[in-house]
């Protein structure tokens, strides 16, 4: 399972909790590990935090309206997005949990003003008026109590999306107060170094920013076809994740070819794992 904090025997894990900020991040980033672990008999749960419906009667920001149009799922797109997630995750043999928290797109301050009304703000620092951090810690605590995972896979926070940063910070807060084995996955597509298109981020930059005590990387060998098919189930998200008609299969294939000739998904050990 987890050996001295430096190596994960993924094939020996019994229960893996993959914490996903959005409905697609877990499969995009570690779909191959999910498929491999399930094939080896593990129970894998892909638990997504920000899955709530568009709040009725709220002021919807121009950015949210722009994304609603791009996704083409009507005024309450999260209903279909949750269905996409169920189809994708179950195609890999894993189980779904939905946290029912509001996406950054919809979070507002007490006056009802959107906290993240532009792409720049979504990929900027979390607002000090954003109160979601405590709810995340509470949610993850409940999930871990319910599941008792022998491994928790958390985003590293590559890309600087506020929801990813708040997620990894909340997992870390929890890891400081309860025993859990956490490894950090490289958030895709940002870990390719191509995204966000206007200000690409990198794994190196994310490692420099993270508050986690990161120890060492591990590449876990995986196959690509099952993961690609599962990503395809997030049909509404493809144009947003891979803009300008980028062929996501070749983008991910290139990323997964590691420098040393291995082909796989890379995770980073933390001082708690």
C-beta closer to Zn ion: residue 13 or 191: 191
Helices (H) and strands (E) in the chain, counts: 10, 9
Minimum CB distance to Zn ion smaller for 12 or for 86: 86
Buried-exposed string 87-113: b where 16+ CB fall within 10 A, e elsewhere:
ebbebbebebbbbebbbbbbbbeeeee
Tokens of 266: 């890379």
Q: Among residues 13 and 96, whose Cβ is nearest to Zn ion?
A: 96
Beta bridge partner(s), residue 267: 185, 218
Query: In whole angstroms, how close is the CB of 268 to Zn ion at the nearest point?
Result: 18
Residue with the shortest CB distance to Zn ion: 22
Cβ closest to Zn ion, residue 21 vs residue 226: 21
Positive or negative torsion for Cα 50, 1, 226, 247: positive
Q: Report 20-59 residues binding Zn ion (CB under 5 A).
A: 21-22, 25
Per CB under 5 A, 160 contacts Zn ion:
no
> 147 forms bridges with which residues in the sheet?
none
Q: Shortest gap between Cβ of 186 and Zn ion (angstroms)?
A: 13
Stretch touching Zn ion by CB under 5 A, among 17-25, 60-68, 212-220, 253-261: 17-25
Instruction: Give the binding site for Zn ion (CB under 5 A).
Output: 21-22, 25
């Amino acid at each position: 399972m987890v050996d001295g904090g430096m190596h994960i025997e993924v094939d020996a894990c019994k229960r893996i909790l993959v914490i996903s900020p959005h409905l697609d991040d877990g499969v995009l980033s570690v779909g191959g590990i999910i498929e491999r672990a399930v094939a080896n008999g593990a129970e894998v749960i892909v638990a997504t935090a920000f899955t709530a419906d568009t709040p009725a009667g709220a002021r919807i920001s121009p950015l949210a309206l722009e994304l609603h149009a791009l996704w083409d799922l009507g005024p309450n797109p999260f209903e279909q997005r949750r269905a996409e997630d169920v189809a994708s995750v179950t195609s890999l043999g894993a189980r779904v949990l939905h946290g029912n928290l509001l996406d950054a797109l919809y979070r507002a301050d007490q006056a009802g003003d959107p906290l993240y009304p532009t792409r720049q703000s979504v990929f900027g620092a979390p607002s000090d008026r954003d109160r979601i951090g405590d709810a995340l810690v509470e949610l993850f605590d409940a999930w871990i109590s319910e599941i008792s995972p022998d491994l928790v896979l958390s985003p590293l926070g590559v890309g600087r999306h506020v929801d990813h940063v708040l997620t990894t910070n909340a997992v870390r807060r929890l890891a400081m107060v309860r025993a859990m084995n956490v490894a950090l996955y490289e958030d895709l597509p940002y870990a390719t170094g191509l995204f966000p298109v206007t200000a690409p981020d990198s794994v190196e930059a994310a490692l420099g920013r993270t508050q986690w005590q990161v120890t060492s990387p591990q590449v876990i060998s995986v196959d690509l076809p099952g993961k690609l098919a599962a990503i395809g189930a997030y049909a509404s998200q493809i144009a947003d994740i891979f803009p300008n008609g980028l062929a996501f299969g070749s983008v991910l294939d290139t990323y997964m070819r590691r420098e040393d000739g291995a082909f796989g998904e890379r995770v980073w050990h933390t001082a708690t794992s």
